[in-house]
Structure 1
């Protein structure tokens, strides 16, 4: 194993596609939120190839805190992302009551960071929640129309801290590992206060720190300088990840930061009809429940 990528076996992809074709998205989401039915769905995929895929995914996850899964079914809705997430045998984090998978299409006409064309930040998701989800899954529905754009990156916490220590970035390390800070989510009107990181876990998003600062929170060092240092170090320790149609990124939401680069659009009819990157995103509440041979299971 040389990297965090693996291929979904054709037989497994066909099994996922078969289940998707027999079920609506709404029925799959309802079943996935019920523990018994969720596990029954996963058992319905059971085969030698499925078990071999899970074993390989377990090793990749344990080594890299993220995995890129290629050759997933490319459906025109969220069902494939939901079914692939069943491999992690974890409870899903719903939104709006009973929805699990969110659909995002990039647009030149929005100011929402998650759907705008400008590049994002290295961050963890839902970082002001009392208990943030442990896993984020990003499934590519439509790739960016321009090759090399809309790329993802993953910066593992251990690599990020090592790089900052090598640079002698003491103020930045103090911000992450020692300072008590406030973070505010303007959209969800949620907030959190505490130390953002330890050697083994992190919650972090520049926008929630900036929102807290706008509301009067103070930081021991100039905030933008420290955020810039974190961004530069994260770029150094990460590699670009391009997702093709159907590909998925699974990433730890506690042991890594993830990032999305600048996007583009291709106009079919200006100004409203255009091709752009589209993704599905879902969150899992717990670490994967791997076989007993995997040391991650007990952590």
Structure 2
């Protein structure tokens, strides 16, 4: 089915238990963030400067500067070819932003500037909250929270080499995720409790079962907990507009911050 088969009124598929925030002054819902790992704000708008001002005020100036990006706000789009994970058409892996730092930013704001050309089937955001993830790991594989804090996953980074790190750690007395699915080294050891299943396959299976699937339209804002939840983006598409002479693709702006 092509994008033209979808009427305009079907451009947004809402999460079943979605709680919509009015398009007024930006306010964070701490209960929603704690309960689901995210807060969804429809029709916030595409003014990136406004987003930066709002979050600067809400966070008390605790916006997260990335030396790699060279800015507080990272704006990017999907490209035909890119080495950057966020710009690739392939689906991303579940991950924590800046997972290797001692204190990763607590929250992430994702603003949709332009949805995927084949929206809403492509470019969805998916979120895994720590509570249902731990519950299903225990129920399905008998793996406890403590075991996940002790079991060390193997990573392989060009600039850092190979090293080990658990998927969960403690920060200020609370468990937080530290994980990046796309950076895992090949040949992980077999599962903690399932000898015929790799650790990576075990984790991915549970994450796919408990994830929330969120479709962002133009101007929608998604606030994520970077400590209590993992996130990823599904497969994207691109479209070449011959008359305009440019690519149409999913465009996003992201800001990390603390409270």
SS in 2 for 1:155: strand
> Normalising by the residue count of structure 2, what TM-score does the alignment of the two structures yield?
0.77
Give how far 1:234 is off.
1.1
C-alpha distance after superposition, 1:134-187 (max 9, x if no partner) = 1111111111111221000111011111111111254x9787332234545436
Decide which of 72, 76, 88 is 1:100's aligned counterpart. 72
Whether 1:208 and 2:183 are equivalent positions in the alignment is yes
Q: Against the structure 1 CA distance between its residues 253 and 202, is the aligned structure 2 distance closer, same or farther, given a 3 Å change threshold?
A: same
**TM-score, normalised with respect to structure 1:** 0.68
The answer as to whether partners of 1:107 and 1:276 remain within 8 angstroms in 2 is yes
Three-state SS of the structure 2 residue aligned to 1:6 is: coil
RMSD: 3.1
**Structure 2 spans left out of the alignment, 5+ residues:** 1-15
Any conservation in 2 of the 1:6–1:69 contact (CA below 8 Å)?
yes
Of the candidates 27, 32, 52, which is equivalent to residue 82 of structure 1? 52
- 2:216 maps to 1:246: no
Tell me by how many angstroms 1:125 deviates: 0.8
Aligned partner (choices 116, 132, 152) of residue 104 of structure 2: 132
Bigger CA drift: 95-104 or 142-151?
Answer: 95-104
Pair 196,238 (structure 1): closer, same or farther in 2 beyond 3 Å:
closer
Partners of 1:156 and 1:257 within 8 A in 2: yes
Q: How many residues align?
A: 233
Paired residues for 1:29-178 under 5 Å: 50=25, 54=27, 57-75=29-47, 78-86=48-56, 88-90=58-60, 91-96=62-67, 99-146=71-118, 147-168=120-141, 170=143, 176-178=148-150
Q: Distance in 1 between matches of 2:156 and 2:180?
A: 10
d(CA) in 1 for partners of 2:213 and 2:190? 32
Report the 3-state secondary structure (helix = DSSP H, G, I; strand = E; otherwise coil) of the residue aligned with 2:213.
coil
Is the 2:22–2:41 contact (alpha carbons within 8 Å) kept by the matching residues of 1?
yes
1:70 to partner: Cα distance: 1.0
Task: State the SS of the aligned residue for 1:257.
Answer: strand
CA deviations 1:5-53 (Å, max 9, x no partner) are: 32233xx3xxxxxxxxxxxxxxxxxxxxxxxxxxxxxxxxxxxxx4xx6
- Whose strand fraction is larger, Structure 1's or Structure 2's? 2
Would the alpha carbon gap of residues 185 and 69 (structure 1) be closer, same or farther in structure 2, given more than 3 Å must change? farther
Cα distance in 1, alignment partners of residues 50 and 21 from structure 2: 15
Q: CA deviation at 1:190?
A: 8.6
Q: 1:206 to 1:257 in 2, by over 3 A?
A: same
2:92/2:235 contact within 8 Å kept? yes
Counterpart contact for 2:109–2:224, Cα < 8 Å: yes
Deviates more, 1:172-181 or 1:114-123: 172-181
Which protein has the bigger helix share? Answer: 1
